Amino acid sequence: VLVDSLDIKANAFLSLFDRETPALQQQIRDYFYRYTGRSRQEKIENIYTRILDRAIDAQTVEALSRQFSAESLQAVIECDEIPGADALLEHLPTTVKKFVVSGTPEHELITIINARNMAHHFDAIKGTPRRKEDNIADLLAQHRLNASACLMLGDGHVDLFAAEQNQLHFIGVAAPEIQTFSGKVPTGRDLAEIGRALDIPRIE
């Protein structure tokens, strides 16, 4: 949602399965994009059991997770922002609490946000191993927030599910031609477009 990392992560994830057939790799790619907000460990386990129909032990899951991190971390730190991300964060009123809730491991997520000099924008940074819907529920309780006054921006079905589970308003971040969400979900191409729609000043 903040940085243009989805394809970087997808390619790094596919590299874990580079010996599979093209047909299986396409299924794995489709699974990755649909469940991008889940932890990499959960995705790896489910791909082995549901797509490849093979058993996998915990040590192999962790080894593949470390390989994914090694191949993607620096690229995510250095990739472009989603247009409008910095401007939106800079110009939201200071009274608005802002949180990152991600499927990335929390320690890695903090590393990325610190390296990109974004940490000062956020009141909390939450990643896996906890699921998004559980992290959001915790944040609502800890900060005594009314869910009906909160908005989640997300780029995948897992984000929409987490918002619905916690009764948050939701706006999808996705190009219309990709059709990530149904027509019933309000969607913007990027954060510049969403910032203008929310009438936040100085979003270019």
Q: Which pLDDT tens digits describe the chain residue by residue (204 residues)?
A: 999 998 899 999 999 999 999 999 999 999 998 888 888 999 999 999 999 999 999 999 999 999 999 999 999 999 999 999 999 999 888 889 999 999 999 999 999 999 999 999 999 999 999 999 999 999 999 999 999 999 999 988 899 999 999 999 999 998 776 777 877 899 999 999 998 888 765 544
Which residue(s) pair with 155 in the sheet?
none
Cα 43 to chain centroid, rounded: 14
The 3-state DSSP class for residue 160 equals helix
Record the pTM: 0.85
Angle at 105 between CA 62 and CA 113, to 5 degrees: 140
Q: What is the DSSP letter of 37?
A: T
Q: Cα(24)–Cα(86) distance, rounded to whole angstroms?
A: 38
- Phi and psi for 201 in degrees, rounded to 5? -70, 155
Cα 94 to chain centroid, rounded: 24
